[in-house]
Amino acid sequence: MSYNQQKIREFLSDMPKERLPQGLTKALEEKRREILSGEIYADYLAQIRDGAREYRGRPVEALKFSEFRLFSETGDRETYQKSYFARRGRLACLALAAWLWQNQEDVSALEDAIWAICDEYSWALPAHIWGEFDEEHRPTVDLFSAETASALAEICALNGDLLAPAVVKRARDNIRKRVIDRYLSDKFGWEHAQNNWAAVCGGAVGIAAMYLCEIDELSEIIFRLQTAVESYISGFPADGAGTEGASYWSYGFTFFAAYAEMLHRLSGGKIDLFADPRVKNIALFQQKAYFNFGGMVKFGDCSDGDVSRWWGLTSYIKSRFDEAEFLPRPPLPDFDSDTCYRWVGILRDLVWSTDYRADKNSYHTYIFPYAQWYVSSGANRSGIAIKAGHNGESHNHNDVGQVEFYLNGDEVLIDYGGGVYDRDYFGEGRYERFECGSQGHNLPIVGGQFQRAGREFQARDVEITDSGMTMDIAPAYGLECLRSLKREVRFNQSAGSMTLRDEFDLSSDSVSIIERFVSYSVPEISGGKIILHGKNGDAVMRYPDKEYDVAVSERDAPKPEDPKKIYLIDFSANKRANNLKFELEIKPIS
């Protein structure tokens, strides 16, 4: 439901003081005492205390122009971002330490961190600044300039009585100049983006505005942000699947929920973004994308790791929807596990947190009819994710027909997720990357060709049942010689096994066929079968050895810092024909 600006102003008028964001410190005092005394927080708080002690003894690292310019010159964005996010880590750690223990040494170090961030040439990243480096481009409102604004606004409110007035004033002046005033005077593409940008940028701008702006200006901003909110929600299919990647769901929905909660509180419950019936399915996606044993669905540009880290976010979702579930894993990870140090989520991990009791203790199957996903878990710590869909999604990979399979808690058939973000990663060469193209997925290679990118390259004749999926993935290749490629994947939940069948209908009998599978388990070819040696156990892969020759190769992970080895298992058809079949079974070794 949308509201005109006058109605929003009416909702925000006569706000009791306890609803004002500026009253955050007093409102959270009871929670602060709970955090300091709660055993479940002890390890996390020790990390904050140790981190603050280390930051107090180390000067703020400089942001170098020689590193800033690298993206423009070489496409490298990691070098500059490492220093940029290190500052945000310092800011978040010291802000929590100052709030929790109110130690003057932490407060002084926090003031230096805020002051240094106000000195930065740009809060936006070089990758998001188009054109040459000049004053015209400095105030760009991107993901991280908006995040910085919301973080500083909230930190100044949380620790306002402790901080020097000059520091608070300078921070708020910079928030206005760099983000709020620029937002009010310009238009941005992310306002219509149907992905995480709309939620993060819009939510962060709204949070900053709720701390800094008077009611007339605030009502104008909230009115306009309705466009970004609608764009974000409408970017999800009706089943709520996070098709750009589970970690991007976590990223975007954290900012959406934080903005929604503050707006709900300030309006006395009259503006409730969670009342939109579409939001429920989006909110419940998290619990459907993870397995009991710790595995996760990694379609798209998903991080390779635990992105269910937002204990506070899940707690808030549970407070709004009875069907929401906690996942069976520790609620608080290492403080440094979020290498971007997103303050909005970090704070809410603490202040939204409730008693953590894992809910997911049995097998489950989830069907996403609109995204065309199948996700299920079963015996022997098994889990499977299958997708049809198309190759034109946000943060797209060419992966129509992709299968991800876990057994014994090991990722036997992998989806690597996102790779190294540099200029080329989002450029013309994106699908030449192993992790983005179909060559890095569990998919056939037809006549030496991989799948193609675009909305029109999609599955057809998709059927999803309780046991798996069938689909024709030929259209994803865009090849005249490939009339159909029918893929059937079935999951035996009680046995923890899977079967895959592909049928090729070709217009020529001279087309080569390779069935590729990608694994972290070490393959051992053994008399017509392959033993897959995982960290937690072994599995057996059976295939038609009389009709297909097998070759195994090894490669490094796409991210240089990732120590894992990746194994490619290629089955080559040893005959050419118009019609070919391939069958594969993976099951536990009995």
**Residues 400-446: pLDDT tens digits?**
999 999 999 999 999 999 999 998 999 999 999 999 999 999 999 99
- Per-residue pLDDT, averaged over 522-531, amounts to 94
- Per-residue pLDDT, averaged over 182-201, amounts to 96
pTM for this prediction: 0.95
**Residues 72-81: pLDDT tens digits?**
889 999 999 9
Question: How many Cα atoms are found within 13 Å in the side-chain-facing hemisphere of 450?
Answer: 20
Q: At residue 543, what is the residue type? A: Y
161 φ/ψ angles, rounded to the nearest 5 degrees: -70, -15
Q: Is the pLDDT of residue 45 over 70?
A: yes
Distance CA 454, CA 459 (A): 12
Architecture of domain 5-351: Alpha/alpha barrel (1.50)
Segment among 133-147, 199-213, 226-240, 380-394 with least mean pLDDT: 133-147
The contacts of residue 110 (CB under 8 Å, 6+ apart) are 91, 94, 95, 97, 98, 155, 159, 163
Average pLDDT across the chain, whole number: 92
Q: Is residue 89 within a helix (H) or strand (E), and if so which, with residue range?
A: helix 78-101
**All CATH 1.50.10.100 domain ranges in the chain, comma separated:** 5-351
Distance CA 479, CA 515 (A): 17
DSSP state of 235: T
**Residues 54-106: pLDDT tens digits?**
999 899 999 999 999 999 889 999 999 999 999 999 999 999 999 999 999 99
pLDDT of residue 153: 96
Pick the CATH number of 365-588 from 3.40.30.10, 3.40.630.30, 2.70.98.70, 3.90.550.10: 2.70.98.70
Distance CA 341, CA 91 (A): 9
Distance CA 48, CA 53 (A): 9
pLDDT of residue 386: 98
Q: At residue 433, what is the residue type? A: R
- Cβ atoms of residues 158 and 351 within 8 Å: no
Token pair recorded at residue 44 = 């996390």
pLDDT of residue 23: 47
- Cβ atoms of residues 445 and 572 within 8 Å: no
488 φ/ψ angles, rounded to the nearest 5 degrees: -125, 125
The contacts of residue 28 (CB under 8 Å, 6+ apart) are 158, 351
- Cβ atoms of residues 555 and 565 within 8 Å: yes
Q: At residue 494, what is the residue type? A: S
- Per-residue pLDDT, averaged over 380-395, amounts to 96
User: Residue 229 — pLDDT band, cuts 50, 70, 90?
Assistant: very high
pLDDT of residue 400: 98
Distance CA 467, CA 488 (A): 10
- Cβ atoms of residues 250 and 286 within 8 Å: yes
- Per-residue pLDDT, averaged over 339-347, amounts to 94
Strand-pairing partners, residue 485, are 504
pLDDT of residue 114: 98
**Residues 504-514: pLDDT tens digits?**
999 999 999 99
Report the side by side order of strands in the sheet with 444-446: 444-446, 513-519, 565-573, 548-556
User: Residue 570 — pLDDT band, cuts 50, 70, 90?
Assistant: very high
Q: At residue 572, what is the residue type? A: S
User: Residue 1 — pLDDT band, cuts 50, 70, 90?
Assistant: low
Distance CA 144, CA 150 (A): 10
pLDDT of residue 329: 65
pLDDT of residue 516: 98
**Crossing angle for the helix pair 311-320 and 343-351, to the nearest 10 degrees:** 60
Report the side by side order of strands in the sheet with 365-368: 365-368, 373-378, 382-387, 403-407, 410-413
Q: Is the pLDDT of residue 363 over 90?
A: no
**All CATH 2.70.98.70 domain ranges in the chain, comma separated:** 365-588
Q: Is residue 94 within a helix (H) or strand (E), and if so which, with residue range?
A: helix 78-101
List Cβ<8 Å contacts ≥24 apart for 184-192.
184/217, 184/220, 184/221, 186/141, 188/141, 190/142, 190/228, 191/224, 191/227, 191/228, 191/231, 192/227, 192/228, 192/231
User: Residue 193 — pLDDT band, cuts 50, 70, 90?
Assistant: very high
pLDDT of residue 331: 63
Question: For the purposes of burial, counting CB atoms within 10 Å of the CB of 545, is it exposed (0-12), middle (13-18) or buried (19 or more)?
Answer: middle
